[in-house]
Chains A and B, each alone.
Chain A
Amino acid sequence: MIEIKNLKVNVEGKEILKGINLTVNKGEVHAIMGPNGSGKSTLANVLAGREEYEIIDGTILFEGKNLLEMSVEDRAREGVFLAFQYPIEIPGVSNTNLLKNAVNSIRKYRGEEEIDAVDLLALIKEKMSLVEMNKELLSRSVNEGFSGGEKKRNEIFQMAVLEPKLAILDETDSGLDIDALRIVANGVNKFRSSENGIILVTHYQRLLDYIIPDFVHVLNDGKIIKSGDKSLALELEEKGYDWVKDQYAEMASA
């Protein structure tokens, strides 16, 4: 589904990603873990098309198309979705209005008819129940005055409505209490299917107790220094990141 090769990215003149290689196939969940400042969020934002980031080298193919040449909106329309680490508050724009515009933009791009208001409402209702979101939040402005947990749930709710092919969840677990974490994870698990892929960017293993990844990658200093299955996450939880770093350094010097 997505094939990232030798991706190097500068942020404000500083090299943050130093040659990322990552392939995610349909039906797979990949967790990207790593210490603060390792480049996890940069990777997530580059995939979504954040324009301030400078691509120095590398390629990204999404469903065979060159992702790096696509505008932010076209990536979304092709099926890439980023759940933000810090969802943006947009006063004056209701959640329903955002979703209506988003669904119709995506449909238009795919040559489909605009969604009928009744169908949209039905879709919204169905997906809201997935993340146990309160109906009254719909008419409120996007994320405005939402609690941390409500914001994260709203991201997962939007994802459920837009049904992307590839969902990138950037630290969706941060700032969530255990109940909210369970609800969010439940929403992601219901979304998970053999037809889509998920990249989970996370700092902690605890999210992976609820969303079981197929692969775990350790990102450090802009590079993936180790990959494994879900047991790697548990090992990291127990032993921290230093042993992986040491192992990588040894391999590099060998």
Chain B
Amino acid sequence: MSKITELKNWYLDKFKDFENSLNGESKLPFHQTRIDAIQKFSDLNFPTIKDEEWKFTNISSLLNHNFKPASENVLEFDHSIIEKYLFDEKEYITIVFVNGVFSQKHSNIHSLGEGIVISNLKNAMVEHPEVIEKYLGKFAGYEKNIFTALSTAFAKEGTFIFVKENKIVEKPIQVLFVTSSNEEVFSSPRNLFVFGINSQAKIIESYVGVSDKTSFTNAVTEVILEMGAVVEHVKVQDESERAYHIARTEIDQERSSNYSSYNVNFGGTIVRNDLTTTFNDEYGFCKLNGLYLGKGNQLIDNHTLMNHAMPHCESHEMYKGILTDKSRGVFNGKIFVKRDAQKTNAYQQNKTLLLSEDATINTKPQLEIFADDVKCSHGATVGQLDKNALFYLRTRGLSDQQAKTILIYAFASDVVHSISMRQVRDHLEKLLSEKLLTADLKD
């Protein structure tokens, strides 16, 4: 039996155990979707570097591990351990998952007004079946994506946010995923965020690790913005250097909705983000900002797709990478402008700082435009720190390391400076400084 077949059988076995653990939940309509998805998982192949979309990201090391579904083993820890990852719990709504499993103990869901639901997905399947039926799995299709198929098969735990028409979630919602285990665990957070007509919310989705065991997070998030909804969505991925992180985020934007994404990655062994936004009606606005910092042998791969399916929409995309040591970055930014999407305004930039001889970036803008009255632009730059600027700063008394840190910081800061939540901005700035402090910035 080949290694891959063996691995697949491992997950198929785990699915059986998972099914048995479901009890009454397997009677819910969504369970049929899980069964279809595990079948699909069984039929599909894991991507290799022969697949165009995975050309620079070789996941074979991921396939060498037999990860255990996390619910089997939750390592308990004191709340104080994760406090440094949490924003002020009075000012923020906090929902915490440990190895992908909802933790009541660490969560603090409070002061929700009427018409606002924040809960574990499992509960929502029972309490809001009509919402689940309408949206879950409708945007992140699993037919062609083995990781989404796996996620869908194991979909149970994850964040469910449902904001009804005209409701504003006053406090930002922090969703924290913690990996903590003395075994190699596999977690599949499945998030569904539904924002009703003219609703507003701010979300911070954080992924952290508190143990140094190898782990595998396979996250799928679907975000729906109904007409006029305004959403700010920050993702901070800061797991251990042994983490594998594969994440897919699908955003559906209806008429005049406004979505801002800040996708910040500090890297694991392999980090792969697939982020797709689709304008399904006119006058939508979307901002995709990304920042990644790679160290050691880390690989950080961002694939984005800005899908202009309807006219009069505007998208701004800016991804910046800082790569040190032997780290590698991949950026693939697609902009599709469909034939009907006249008056589209789409802008994309990818800028990379390579701070060592051995760091590499593969960057590829990919514009496919079928409408004739549009404004689209893209650009990619790869460079080093400006030697003249370094010299200038040093003639003012700053050390070489200090000068470099300041310049890198300046490079990175405009990606995150428009985040409206001050605590989040401060946290990111602090994280960035800490990471730069320990990075090897020598030439």
Contacts and interface: CB of A to CB of B under 8 A. Distances in A.
Interface of A: 48-51, 71-73, 75-77, 81-82, 84, 87-93, 97-98, 101-103, 105-106, 109, 141, 158, 162
Closest 6 CB pairs of A and B: A92-B410, A72-B394, A76-B397, A102-B396, A88-B392, A105-B397
Interface in B153-212: none
A149 B386 CA distance: 23
Given A90-B407, A90-B410, A101-B406, A49 B395 contact: yes
B395 A48 contact: yes
B74 interface: no
Query: Counting chain A CB atoms within 10 Å of each CB, which of B397, B398, B400, B410 scores highest?
Result: B397
Interface string B369-391: 00000000000000000101101
B409 interface: yes
B393 interface: yes
B396 A162 contact: yes
A105 B396 CA distance: 9
B414 A92 contact: yes
B395 A81 contact: yes
A105 B395 contact: no
B410 A73 contact: no
B249 interface: no
B396 to A, nearest CB: 4
Contacts of A88: 386, 388-389, 391-392
Contacts of A89: 389
Given A73-B400, A77-B397, A105-B399, A84 B392 contact: yes
A113 to B, nearest CB: 16
A50 B406 contact: no
Contacts, number: 73
A83 to B, nearest CB: 10
B394 A73 contact: yes
B411 A162 contact: no
B332 interface: no
A49 to B, nearest CB: 7
Contacts of B400: 71, 73
A146 B162 CA distance: 49
A199 to B, nearest CB: 14
A77 B402 CA distance: 14
A48 B394 CA distance: 9
A105 B409 CA distance: 18
Given A73-B400, A77-B397, A84-B395, 9 more contacts: A73-B399, A90-B393, A90-B410, A93-B406, A93-B407, A101-B393, A101-B396, A102-B396, A102-B398
B413 interface: yes
Contacts of B391: 50-51, 72, 88
Interface size range of chain B in the complex = 20 to 34
Contacts of B392: 84, 87-88, 90
A91 B392 CA distance: 13
A11 B386 CA distance: 20
B326 to A, nearest CB: 26
Contacts of B396: 76, 98, 101-102, 105, 158, 162
Query: Counting chain A CB atoms within 10 Å of each CB, which of B398, B409, B414 scores highest?
Result: B398
A50 B394 CA distance: 10
Contacts of B409: 92-93
B395 A76 contact: yes
A201 to B, nearest CB: 15
Contacts of A103: 397
A128 to B, nearest CB: 17
Contacts of B402: 101, 105
Nearest to B411: A92
A81 B400 CA distance: 17
Given A84-B392, A92-B409, A102 B414 contact: no
A75 to B, nearest CB: 8
Nearest to B396: A102
A98 B397 contact: no
Nearest to A77: B397
Contacts of A72: 391, 394-395
Contacts of B388: 88
B207 to A, nearest CB: 27
A98 B393 contact: yes
A8 B410 CA distance: 38
B379 to A, nearest CB: 16
A82 B395 CA distance: 7
A130 to B, nearest CB: 18
Contacts of A158: 396
A82 B411 CA distance: 25
Interface string B397-426: 111101000110111011000000000000
Interface string B236-279: 00000000000000000000000000000000000000000000
Nearest to A73: B394
Contacts of B399: 73, 105
A250 B406 CA distance: 53
A81 B396 CA distance: 7
A114 to B, nearest CB: 13
A144 to B, nearest CB: 10
Interface string B71-83: 0000000000000
A75 B398 CA distance: 11
Contacts of A93: 406-407, 409-410
A87 to B, nearest CB: 8
Interface in B41-83: none
A246 to B, nearest CB: 37
Nearest to A83: B395
Contact of A90 (B389, B394, B397, B413): B389
B397 A162 contact: yes
A55 to B, nearest CB: 16
B437 to A, nearest CB: 14
Nearest to B399: A73
Nearest to B403: A73
A98 B409 CA distance: 13
Contacts of A73: 394-395, 397-400
Contacts of A109: 397
Nearest to A45: B391
A102 B406 contact: no
A93 B410 CA distance: 6
Given A91-B410, A92-B411, A93-B406, A105 B389 contact: no
